[in-house]
Homo-oligomer: A and B are copies of this chain.
């Protein structure tokens, strides 16, 4: 058993749950959670980082489990005011969430890096583990639809993912450097494992892999690299992954996930109900672990985190 450091790569909601699980079973000095910033955008003068927010709220236990995103106990008064003032209302800003956006935006504008702001805000909410953006340089995910290239949030929230996607790109890459915490985690001599959280590979993990040097660094690691498939029965629990897979001409299955990550991965965790996929995946050279990948709350999060760490021989 290895007792070193764990680097978790996370997108939003699904990834955030496993990140919270890992934080529940590992001491602060043994975990770095690196978060996708490709979904970040500027809206009404605010810098909004949806995946960092999801990870922060979930790790702080503030997430709204019923709605599946945002902060529990949220209200929408500022949004109603903004709408009455004639401002754009396609992106719903909760009042509590707005506090986060205001705090982050003014700190960034005052010259703090996104990394520093993220440490400040997560620590304020009692998160002892390190949460870092993948990069302090702006990366913006864009999708190609019949209308041309669209900014991610315009498509994801503004159009509810309706337009069919033919390609995805990450504006700002190459050129975006890994954040200090990300680069340091990748280079740690005591690194024990890299965990690809159950996030959308195309929209949430690919931007992380597109950061300068990251794909090469991950490929060169000799420690286990394990992903948790975001699919159960070929369907994503949430978000547009199933639709995207079809539109990009790929099979809606764990095979597509495995194929997508390719040699960056040693182990894939799939849901027990998809056990039939195991033999074929293993034939492709991948270790496969079966687990209940559905996370309904903190207990599930910790349980899955323990199973993931056990699968790669990391102590918890």
Judging by beta carbons under 8 Å apart, are A95 and B124 in contact? no
Tell me the nearest residue of chain B to A73, going by C-beta. Answer: B77
Given contacts A75-B75, A78-B95, contact A46 B85 (CB under 8 A): no
The total of chain A residues at the interface (CB under 8 A) is 34
Nearest-Cβ distance from residue A59 to partner chain B, whole angstroms: 14
> Which of B78, B109, B124 is in CB contact (< 8 Å) with A96?
B78
> Which of B82, B86, B125 is in CB contact (< 8 Å) with A85?
B125
Given contacts A77-B75, A77-B77, A109-B45, contact A82 B95 (CB under 8 A): no
Q: Does A99 contact B (CB under 8 A)?
A: yes
Judging by beta carbons under 8 Å apart, are A75 and B95 in contact? yes
Q: How far is the CA of A263 from the CA of B99 in the complex (A)?
A: 48
Please give, as numbers and ranges, the residues of chain B lying within 8 Å of A45 by CB-CB distance. 45, 102, 105-106, 109-110
Say whether chain A's binding surface is mostly helix, strand, loop, or mixed. helix
Judging by beta carbons under 8 Å apart, are A121 and B85 in contact? yes
Nearest-Cβ distance from residue A7 to partner chain B, whole angstroms: 26
Q: Which A105-150 residues have a C-beta within 8 angstroms of B?
A: 105-106, 109-110, 120-121, 124-125
Please give, as numbers and ranges, the residues of chain B lying within 8 Å of A248 by CB-CB distance. none
Given contacts A45-B102, A85-B124, A87-B102, 11 further A-B contacts (CB under 8 A): A44-B106, A45-B45, A46-B102, A77-B94, A77-B95, A77-B96, A78-B95, A78-B99, A84-B125, A85-B100, A85-B125
**Can you identify 30 A-B contacts, CB atoms within 8 angstroms?**
A44-B106, A45-B106, A45-B110, A46-B102, A46-B106, A71-B81, A73-B77, A74-B77, A75-B75, A77-B77, A77-B94, A77-B99, A78-B78, A78-B102, A79-B99, A80-B96, A81-B96, A81-B97, A81-B98, A81-B100, A82-B102, A82-B103, A84-B99, A84-B124, A85-B99, A85-B120, A85-B124, A86-B124, A98-B102, A102-B102
